[in-house]
Structure 1
Amino acid sequence: MPAAEKPAQKIDKTFKSKIQSDGAFPTFIELAGSAELFGTRRPVKVGGTIDGHPFTATLMPSGEGPHWLPVKAALRKLVDKDTGAEVTVHLQERLS
């Protein structure tokens, strides 16, 4: 029997950060303070907006503290920004 899904937890946290490119993900945003916000350095699935455009993604631990939010090419195209550009990330719910 599959484990019961946890209901989404509402959050209201906004970050400003630059889109970066390095490591395992083609492009990502580093979310300073995320490990403290979520109380874990493990992957965390979230939903929210980047520059007003909705997304869901799994925040991945960087190994050095903050989580990385992978940013897909389609979302970068929607916000019309690429590596080096600053974006506003509004986290609205924790899905895992």
Structure 2
Amino acid sequence: MRHALALAAAIFAIAQPCSAAPDGGGNGASIVIGQSVPLTGASAELGKQMRAGAQAYFDHINKRGGIHGRKIVLDTMDDGFDPQRATANY
């Protein structure tokens, strides 16, 4: 059950909507992906698993040269599972 939850969280983290950095990530050095998840509060464990799943995938891509030579950087923000905080993160 624990592994199934971790797998589901990883899949959700990768599939959840992400946004690029305000500059569009177009500086040529890296691609920045924003993620707003609960890292504190009652749902913190779920948010931490989402972050870990996304980071594991991006590390996998980066070890193979990134995307067209550009590394992926995950920028995770804590929203505490609060919609207003999640909106403010973006």
TM-score, scaled relative to structure 2 = 0.31
Q: Which has the higher helix share?
A: 2
TM-score, scaled relative to structure 1 = 0.29
Q: Which has the higher strand share?
A: 1
